[in-house]
Amino acid sequence: MDKPLISRRLVDSDGSLAEAASGAPKVGILGTGDFARSLATRLVRSGFSVVVGSRNPKRTAGLFPSAAQVVFQAEAVESSEVIFVAVFREHYSSLCGLSGQLAGKILVDVSNPTEQEHLQLRESNAEYLAALFPTCTVVKAFNVISAWTLQAGPRDGNRQVPICSDQPEAKRVVSELAHAMGFTPVDVGSLAAAWEVEARPLHLFPSWKVPVLLALGLFVFFYAYNLTRDVLQPYVREGKSKFYKLPLSVVNTSLPCVAYVLLSLVYLPGVLAAALQLWRGTKYSRFPDWLDHWLQHRKQIGLLSFFCAALHALYSMCLPLRISYRYDLVNLALKQVLTNKSHLWVEENVWRMEIYLSLGVLALGTLSLLAVTSLPSIANSLNWREFSFVQELWVF
């Protein structure tokens, strides 16, 4: 293993990596499923020589790129030092007949368990594979990357590849391979961390759980307050039934309150962090856990604030279209006629409404700019001064 697997590479016009040396590194793949086909496509585009091991090469050869060799599993294992195991856990035992040929090889486990299997079995798939093949070096990697990402190429949001293994040299080899494919390898430790790595694809928006619960809690609070003030109080005191406001008007009144509070929660932790650093007299001391988690959730909180503001804009456009609103206009006109007041135009109210709408549109536009620049693809195209200018633009 003294010779590095990945030699010097050049970047093609389409962003893929091409082999600069005459001989391309050979990588094996065991499996012929969707992930194996996408993996073979990405490896070929990155300049690797790919050998796919199949139990029926003639039937599956047409599914893979023409540059990839599709042979029997024994032949694929024999000619490769790094082998991707792209089969399900229940099929690992079918590879035991190749244990002699796999001795000394690097096996890259890319499988993911189902949620039920992950909860029932505390042993990860990678550890199970290592137990079946003790003479091999098992590396857990690429399980968080989808087949579509492998074909389309890495993007900002799914570029990182967590890698874990008990052998540092094997991790280095797989890290170089991942980097050559355009991904960012992240060393997460020994193979014991594979159970946690395999749990990542099973989580549904883990970084959004707290912000979403926070937004829902704020909405329920403001909705209950506005319901009491605008609907229940007039009904109890004056006997006026305004329950028709529940689905639209009360919701529209609550949304901007939630948006403003969420937006303030985006900038408040930065102020608290700066004050804490001044009080401690150093910036190298660790923040408390609650403040650290708060800082890490600022992007999600900000995007939820933008979502509530956008919903408020849509609800506001629907308000004049309500039948109840038109009934109110007709009743007001009748009252004006009966009291000999034929003019419905009130200059002060018109100016107030025009100013409200104008400022609301400007605020939503600025918040939209703030939300767009928080996206990785946009933020990566801005330098620090440009990003700070957008943040200060909203503050002012």
Band (pLDDT 50/70/90 cuts) for residue 14 is very low
Domain boundaries, the chain: 26-200, 208-344
Cα–Cα distance, 49 to 26 (Å, whole number): 4
List the strands of the sheet with 26-30, edge to edge: 69-72, 49-54, 26-30, 82-85, 106-109, 137-140, 160-165, 184-189
pLDDT in tens, 33-84: 999 999 999 999 999 999 999 999 999 999 999 999 999 999 999 989 999 9
Q: Which amino acid is at 190?
A: S
Residues 72, 182 contacting (CB under 8 angstroms): no
Cα–Cα distance, 326 to 320 (Å, whole number): 8
pLDDT in tens, 154-178: 765 568 899 999 999 999 999 999 9
135: Cβ–Cβ under 8 A, 6 or more apart, which residues? 99, 102, 103, 104
Instruction: Give the HSE-up count for residue 61: Cα atoms under 13 Å, Cβ half-sphere.
Output: 10
Cα–Cα distance, 179 to 42 (Å, whole number): 12
Structure tokens at 232: 């229940």
Residues 24, 77 contacting (CB under 8 angstroms): no
Q: Which class is 26-200 in CATH?
A: alpha beta
pLDDT in tens, 84-141: 999 999 999 999 999 999 999 999 999 998 877 766 777 899 999 999 999 999 999 9
Nearest in space to 58 (alpha carbons), one of 39, 74, 75, 71: 71
pLDDT at 396: 58
Band (pLDDT 50/70/90 cuts) for residue 18 is very low
